[in-house]
Each structure stands twice: as structure tokens, then as C-alpha cells.
A and B are shown apart, each in its own frame.
Chain A
Amino acid sequence: MGWAEPAAPGAELADLAADREALRVVEEALATLPAEQRAVLLLRDVEGFAYEEIAIITSTEIGTVKSRIHRGRVAVRNILVSRGWKGSSG
């Protein structure tokens, strides 16, 4: 009765460490965003609001919500990539 071995030994631990590091970078990246981009990203990805709802919450046009979410995500993605993030692993 030994411990079940992972498919690739240490791979999950490495992923976990990479995820924690990525989360730290994401937090830093969010802090550098303009407030309105950060707000819509949190409303979308953390709170799970639809674009229409975010438009109402932030009293803006839905087109503005769309572009702010996209620019914010791209900015966070760019910072992650600049720190060696391989992307799409999550």
C-alpha cells in the first residue's frame, strides 16, 4: 500500500507552484491596471456578471465594457507572458 505515483513525478507540484506564482503576478498586474479596467475584470471573471449587467453596474455602454475587459485581459496576459508564463496552461 504505497502512495499512488503521479503520471509525471513532481509535475503537479510544479504546476501548483507555477499557478501560485502566476496568481501573484496576476495580482500585481491587476494593481497596475486603470481602475475601470480592473473593476470590469473583477466583475466579469471573479463575480461572473454578464456584459449587460456590468454595463448597468458601471453606468457605461456595453461596447465600453467589452473593450475594457479585452484591454484589461490583454494587459494582464502581457505581464504574465513577460514573466515567462506559457499561457493556456490553466
Chain B
Amino acid sequence: MHPFGDLSAYLDGALSPEARTSVQAHLDTCALCRTRLAELRGTARLIAALPMPVPSRSLVPRISAPVWMVALRTFSTVASAAAILLFVVSAAISSFPRTQSAGTAPAAAPAPTAALDAARSGATSASAAPQSDQKYAAPTSASASPGAAFNVVPSPTLAPPELATASDATRRLDTGSAAPSASIGDFAVASRISSGTEQPPFNPFPWLWLVLGVAFAAVSFILGRRLRSA
């Protein structure tokens, strides 16, 4: 049994002492193995004598670059690009609301204005009801019904001006309801805009994406250098 597999290691002095003496003993008796050993020695010398002042990088494979490193680098490159894209998009979105809220607020305003109008009409009807009550109550207060008197005690003195102002107000509300409601609507819009402009500057998401993008880019860069040097 020829120890062919051990000849190279024997040549390189890489065998254990026992294996080495065993191969040595075989070589003493086997001309074929001596020839093979001589051929391997000659081959090794030729390889060592190769004109390679600068070993070509292409000849040396990427022996120490694990697969996960390549995969992680690809992932971080893509993730960096995605995060920066998200940063741009979210920055654009968060910078829009100032103009966007100015655009949506008037559109949203009619709802509160309508609510206000409804409340106003409710108020007018409510104010109209006491008026009619007072109209009816005034005679009953004259008749000195205790409950009615309790209800309409101030009415004899206040009723005439109150009626006038109330009816005036109702008329004003009926005729010019657009004006006050619009002014209140404007106020609502103004408050909405001010609250809308307050929010975006504290929105951390665009910067979070930017930080993520830069971090991933750094990881990708470091891994790329590591892979190139490997």
C-alpha cells in the first residue's frame, strides 16, 4: 500500500512524527514512491519559481469572504437606498401639509360652519321659544301664577328690550348669518392652520429614515471594503 496521499505532506514536513517515520520506511523500499516524491518536489519548485512578482488578485479566490457577508452587504445597500427614498418621500409629505392644510382647511371649514349654523339656528329657535313663552308668559305673570311668575319674574322689566334685541339678533342671524359664521369659520381655519404648522417640525420620521439610510450605507461601505480586501 503506497502512501501516495501523504507524499506532499511528507515533502512539506507537515506529517506527525509517527506518520513521517512510516513514510520514510516505505520510501526506503519503494522506488515508485521515491519517483512520485521527486516529481512532487519538482512540481512544487516549479510552482514556487513562477514569475509572479505581484500575485494576480484574480488567481487568488475570495477564500475568507463568508457568504453571509456578501448577502448582508447586498441587503444593506438595498436597505440604504430604500431608507433614503423613504426619507425623501416622507420629507416631501411632511413639508406639504402647510400648503395642504391651507387647501384642506377651507374644505373642512364648511363642516364646522354648518355645525355652527345648526347650533346658531338651534340657538335662534331656542331664543325664539322663550320669546313666544314670554309672550304667553307675560299675561300669566299678570295673572300671578306662582310657577309662571317664578319663570318670568324678570320678564316684565326685561321683556321689551330683550325681545327687541333677541328678535334683532335673530333677524341679523337670519339675514346675515353668512357673515358671522364666515368669520367664525375663518377663525376655525386659522386655528387649524396654526395647529397644523405646529405639528410637522416635530415629526421625526424623515430624519429617522435619513439616519437609517446613512447607517445602512456605512455598513454596506465597510462590508464592501472588507470583501474587496478579502
Chain A residues within 8 Å of B, Cβ to Cβ = 19, 22-23, 26-27, 30, 35-36, 38-39, 41-42, 44-46, 50-51, 57-59, 66-67, 69-70, 73-74, 76-77, 80-81, 85, 87-90
Contacts and interface: CB of A to CB of B under 8 A. Distances in A.
Contact of A45 (B7, B48, B60, B61): B48
Contacts of B40: 73-74, 77
Interface residues of B, number: 28
B49 interface: yes
A23 B39 contact: no
A66 B46 CA distance: 19
> Looking at A35, A59, A73, which has the most chain B CB atoms within 10 Å of its CB?
A73
B218 interface: no
B42 interface: yes
Contacts of A26: 43, 46-47, 50
A38 to B, nearest CB: 7
Given A23-B50, A59-B64, A90-B49, A76 B8 contact: no
Contacts of A27: 50
20 contacts: A19-B46, A22-B46, A23-B50, A26-B46, A26-B47, A38-B61, A39-B60, A39-B61, A39-B63, A41-B47, A42-B47, A44-B44, A57-B63, A59-B63, A73-B47, A74-B8, A74-B40, A81-B39, A87-B42, A89-B42
